[in-house]
Amino acid sequence: MPIHSGRPDDDQAERILVALSQFRIETPSWGYADTGTRFGKFHQPAAAIDLDDKLADAGQVQRLTGCCPTVAVHVLWDFPKGSDPTQVVRRAAQYDVAIGSINPNVFQDQRYKLGSFGNPDAAVRQAAVQHCVDCIALAQQVGSRLISLWFADGTNYPGQDNTRARKRRFTEALQQVQQRLDADQLLLVEYKPFEPAFYQTDIADWGMAYLLAKSAGPNAKVLVDTGHHYLAQNIEQIVAWLLDEQMLGGFHFNDRRYADDDLTLGSIDPYQVFRIFHEIHSYAFDHGGIFPEIAYMIDQSHNLKPKLEAMVQTVMVAQELYAKAALVDHAALDVYQSHGDIVAAERLLQRAFMTDVTDAIVAWRRQRGLPDDPLDALRGSGYVEQAARERSERRAALGIGQSTSYA
Ligand code: PSV
Ligand code: MN
């Protein structure tokens, strides 16, 4: 049998429809605004200026794709002092979206120079805990279940601080925060090997995140950001282990060539994304077809690509790879695995990966009155051009100039 198996048969097409119906992916508010690298920013006229613009853009992505009903928010970037959470909820609903995960920010303030939960100063640790507790209250006000924690904490030089003490400070602070959750809320603990800390990061890998989440209490799980691994690391194996321990809480999706590059999901290694999704489908197969509750989120800030196009493109890639992973015949795979038929087992995955699932996805979109190709639809809608005009005028009126010209 050739590796390329063409299009799905009827049974496979049905599997794709079912799989896509329960696949939702959250877009990040920070992905709609101008961001850059530490070397500078290239501004986009259509970039969102404030939270209202971000919600409008997220609503446009949801209307085109039908699978992005929530927006992740970063508390300090999106909720300036005095903002009214109930008004934000109302505005989001007007744009056909809801507020999703709440991301506390314990890395920007000057007091966090030596860390937040890991800081040697108990008063700073307490301030960071209090900010997270405030975020839990905000989540309750906006109807969000998820508090997503990422820490820039770490040290830059050997000897800078006591590693074991920092671990214990983290354990204690996370326990305090976890205790403040409602029963249906979940704390997600994200790990990252380096940046901005360059000697050691306090939560550097999935094992550390697992231990800390486990000791925080029952409502804490691990968040896997696909860009937060060393290059050779086998991310799908981490996913499988976390699934088996019921400790996989969610994903931040992006791709990378070197480190945390924020490239479009699947742009560098789509087969890896497929293999991650395969682990999830495989877990569901082993659990009577019940899929684990996982928060799929995008975490990408594009410097060069147009923001909205990049977001829609990412969602489409995620759907496509999720659909391909739904094609794996798990019963056949079990047989090959138990017989040690390595080649047949591998080819089963490769065939699923190489199947053209376009028609099946279009069928899913047509069932919902969505455009066949959301990216083409975005380009044809005039939304980006209109946003660019309106936001440029608003920037000028607000006196926040944007375009830097070298002419
Ligand atoms: C840190 O690199 C990170 O992945 C965290 O999830 C932050 O919330 C996000 O990026 C900010 O872009
Ligand atoms: Mn992330």
Sign for the CA dihedral angle at 115, 120, 124, 126 comes to positive
pLDDT number for residue 404: 47
Task: Give the position, in ligand 1's atom list, of the atom nearest the Cα of 28.
Answer: 12
pLDDT, tens digit, 9 for 90 and up, residues 237-294:
999 999 999 999 999 999 999 999 999 999 999 999 999 999 999 999 999 999 999 9
Q: Closest ligand 1 atom to the C-alpha of 260?
A: 2
Please name the residues in contact with 233: beta carbons below 8 A apart, sequence gap of 6 or more.
Answer: none
pLDDT tens per residue across span 165-179: 999 999 999 999 999
Higher model confidence: residue 262 or residue 406?
262
Using an 8 Å Cβ cutoff, are 202 and 166 in contact?
A: yes
Q: How far is the CA of 259 from the centre of ligand 1 (A)?
A: 13
From atom 2 of ligand 1, which residue's Cα is the shortest distance away?
260
Give the mean model confidence (pLDDT) for residues 356-381. 98
Q: What was the pLDDT predicted at 81? A: 85
Site of tokens 């934000």: 88
- For ligand 1, atom 10, the nearest C-alpha belongs to 299
Confidence (pLDDT) at 80:
87
DSSP string, 55-110: HHHHHHHHHHHS---EEEEEHHHHS-TT--HHHHHHHHHHTT-EEEEEE---SSSG
- The model's pTM is 0.97
Each residue's pLDDT tens digit, 6-42: 889 999 999 999 999 999 999 999 999 998 888 999 9
Using an 8 Å Cβ cutoff, are 203 and 210 in contact? no
Q: Is 262 in the pocket of ligand 1 (CB under 6 A)?
A: no
pLDDT tens per residue, range 105-127: 999 999 999 999 999 999 999 99
Judged against a pLDDT cut of 80, whether residue 68 lies above it is answered with yes
Average pLDDT value for the chain? 96
Alpha-carbon span 165 to 24, nearest angstrom: 39
- Longest Cα pair distance anywhere in the chain, in angstroms? 70
Domains and CATH numbers, the chain: 24-328 (3.20.20.150)
